[in-house]
Amino acid sequence: MGDTEDTYQSEFQSLIASVRSLRHDFSNHIQVIHGLLKLEENAKALEYLTGLSKEVHSIESMKLDVIHPGLSVLLETKRLSAQNYNIDIEIDVSQESFNRIKTIDLIKLLSNVIDNAIEATIELPEQERRMNIACKADDEKYTFMVTNTGPMISELDLENIFASGFSTKKAQKGKVRGQGLFIVKDLVKRYDGEIHVQSSEKETTVTMIIPVNGKMG
């Protein structure tokens, strides 16, 4: 319970900080636009507003329709984090409670992989930064997939990526932290699941599959 509470508090604080930052930024933006209009610099004001369109869209679409409260908080936090790095992010979550996985374990699984994906994506120019997070469920299994654009992970690194202490960060390649994936793989195994990493020159995908009738962690 202590670990779960600490995780919730951390994610909530991150979410609140991101919202406060956005609110503060927009207050400044409004002052700039107001000043430009007072100076009758209409063209510059319009140009400034056009540049804010992505942020406005992000605020309007911030609410995720997710049943699981812990998962909802996590994904909202990570989406705001990705948007702060100008990453084009898409999230697709089934209407499922995912209650065969302990909340603290579900958050550990996804937060490690998503954080790694964000780190890899921001190595690219802003126009190439894309992520997709999918949490799917059927009668037999839960499937969690995190895909990101970023540097390709070499075949040699892929062979060692789940080893304790292994990291590709020193080589400045796929930015997938080996220690984080070691923890993730251990958790997946405890639920009789499997994890796979695929990487190409265009994108990297981490897939975690948890059987519904497997062990309960």
The domain that holds 156 is classified in CATH as 3.30.565.10
Task: List the domain range (segments joined by +) for residue 97.
Answer: 90-217
In a domain, 9, yes or no: no
Number of domains in the chain: 1
In a domain, 38, yes or no: no
In a domain, 107, yes or no: yes
Question: Which tokens is 85 given?
Answer: 């790095």
The residue-averaged pLDDT of 61-79 equals 77
In a domain, 155, yes or no: yes
In a domain, 16, yes or no: no
In a domain, 71, yes or no: no
In a domain, 195, yes or no: yes
Question: How many Cα atoms are found within 13 Å in the side-chain-facing hemisphere of 26?
Answer: 13
pLDDT tens-place string over residues 134-187: 999 999 999 999 999 999 998 888 888 877 655 555 444 444 444 568 889 999
In a domain, 77, yes or no: no
Question: Which strands form 203-211's sheet, in the order they lie side by side?
Answer: 88-93, 130-137, 141-149, 203-211, 194-199
Instruction: Check residue 56 and give its pLDDT.
Output: 57
Query: Alpha helix locations (H) across the chain?
Result: 2-38, 42-51, 53-60, 69-84, 103-121, 155-160, 178-190
Position 205 pLDDT exceeds 80: yes
- Non-local (6+) Cβ contacts of 110 within 8 A are 71, 74, 75, 78, 133, 135, 144, 146
- Identify which has the larger pLDDT, 67 or 118: 118
